[in-house]
């Protein structure tokens, strides 16, 4: 093998997204065809058999890039020396559960995992939180890893929302998804998120807004489509998938998590993408909230940087503010639990 394997930890390794993630990572889809990986799968005792079974299948794939697979229910073992931590396992909302209960249950997972990352992960670890409520779980994990690991090394996944937005636009415009650049998801990975196409362009530089107006019969029709169809459809796509498929998004979520880590590690290719990162006050978002922004990465362990200076009109500012308010409420609820 070319180089020392990169340790990648997946929590919830016995769950659905974990299962969809690990084979693609082992095949080189995330870190490239030259970087061997060592996988660590973290589970709770009830999930251990499923994760162990997945590890047997990984062995049966004989992936040339896969150096090793460990399955454990001990966070200190799972995160020991890890460079990339993908926090997927979370406590789902069950019937009758209030938002505060959900936040508290997940604080009980992401607090200890953040502690363990601070204690034993590689200093250069990068963490992506997939498990919901992803933004606030990332906030909790980052606070719990502090001061050993800087909080900017923690991110949350909004790339699935980003990719969903690109997919919807591609269909509406009759172009390939790869033709659409500079879509932005702002805010929380929840129904309040704001999928923003006002900076999006096609390969010839034509603004997507203009292309939509041409295709839909004018600016007013394009605005109505964005407000009434596009934004709610992207924001509620998870529910649509459950209704049609009878089960939640799995392969598309794993794919987005791979896109997120790949672009962060190797660099964004064309234009910007979306990721939830710790706010430094950009666009007026209160410092410390884990908020989805337009980001780019130059690779080489540079991490995601917020792209500043994009113009937001009044309508866009109101939508961003509504989602940021929700993030602040989640943070306050977690603070009230004494977690932060």
**Alpha carbon of 29 to those of 83, 163, 270: distances in Å?**
17, 17, 18
| 4 DSSP 8-state letter | P
In terms of residues, how long is the chain?
A: 340
Q: Which stretch binds ligand NAX (CB under 6 A): 16-24, 26-34, 206-214, 283-291?
A: 16-24
Q: Which is nearer to ligand NAX, 54 or 272 (CB)?
A: 54
43 is a contact residue toward ligand NAX (CB under 6 A): yes
The CB density around residue 25, as the number of other CB atoms within 10 Å, is 26
Q: Which is nearer to ligand NAX, 137 or 151 (CB)?
A: 137
Per the annotation, the verdict on 189 as an active-site residue is: yes
192 is a contact residue toward ligand NAX (CB under 6 A): no
130 is a contact residue toward ligand NAX (CB under 6 A): yes
Residue 230 token pair: 């596009």
**Sign of the CA dihedral running 222, 223, 227, 228:** negative
Q: Which is nearer to ligand NAX, 22 or 157 (CB)?
A: 157
Measured CA to CA, the distance from residue 184 to residue 193 in angstroms comes to: 10
Least Å from the CB of residue 278 to ligand NAX: 16
**Alpha carbon of 73 to those of 41, 78, 105: distances in Å?**
8, 8, 18
Longest dimension (CA), the chain: 59
266 is a contact residue toward ligand NAX (CB under 6 A): no
Beta pairing partners, 129: 87, 156
Least Å from the CB of residue 207 to ligand NAX: 27
139 is a contact residue toward ligand NAX (CB under 6 A): no
Site string for ligand NAX, 221-240 (x = CB under 6 A): -----------------x--
Residue 66 token pair: 């896969």
Q: Which is nearer to ligand NAX, 90 or 173 (CB)?
A: 90
Measured CA to CA, the distance from residue 20 to residue 308 in angstroms comes to: 34
Residues near ligand NAX (CB under 6 A) are 11-12, 14-18, 42-44, 46-47, 88-90, 92, 109, 130-132, 134, 157, 160, 189, 238, 248-250, 253
Active-site residues, by number, are 189
């Amino acid at each position: 093998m070319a180089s020392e394997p990169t340790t990648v930890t997946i929590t919830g390794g016995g769950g659905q997204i974990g299962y969809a993630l690990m084979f693609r990572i082992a095949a080189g889809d995330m870190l490239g065809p030259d970087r061997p990986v060592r996988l660590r799968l973290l589970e709770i005792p009830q999930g251990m058999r499923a994760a162990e079974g997945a590890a047997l299948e990984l062995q049966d794939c004989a992936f040339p890039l896969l150096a090793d697979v460990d399955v454990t229910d001990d966070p200190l073992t799972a995160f020991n020396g890890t460079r990339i931590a993908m926090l997927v396992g979370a406590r789902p909302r069950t019937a009758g559960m209030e938002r505060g209960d959900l936040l508290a249950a997940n604080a009980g997972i992401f607090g200890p995992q953040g502690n363990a990352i601070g204690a034993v992960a590689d200093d250069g670890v990068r963490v992506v939180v997939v498990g919901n409520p992803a933004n606030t779980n990332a906030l909790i994990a980052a606070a719990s890893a502090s001061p050993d690991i800087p909080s900017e090394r923690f991110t949350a996944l909004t790339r699935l929302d980003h990719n969903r937005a690109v997919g919807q636009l591609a269909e509406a415009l009759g172009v390939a998804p790869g033709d659409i650049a500079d879509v932005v998801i702002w805010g929380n990975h929840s129904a309040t998120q704001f999928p923003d196409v006002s900076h999006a362009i096609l390969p010839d530089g034509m603004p997507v807004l203009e292309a939509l107006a041409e295709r839909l019969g004018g600016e007013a029709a394009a605005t109505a489509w964005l407000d009434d169809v596009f934004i709610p459809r992207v924001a509620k796509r998870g529910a649509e998938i459950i209704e049609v498929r009878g089960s939640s998004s799995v392969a598309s979520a794993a794919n987005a998590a791979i896109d997120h880590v790949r672009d962060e590690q190797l660099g964004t290719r064309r234009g910007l993408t979306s990721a939830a990162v710790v706010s430094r006050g950009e666009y007026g978002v209160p410092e410390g909230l884990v908020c989805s922004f337009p980001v780019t990465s130059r690779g080489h362990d540079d991490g995601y940087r917020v792209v500043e200076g994009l113009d937001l009109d009044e309508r866009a500012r109101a939508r961003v503010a509504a989602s940021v308010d929700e993030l602040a409420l989640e943070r306050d609820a977690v603070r009230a639990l004494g977690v932060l």
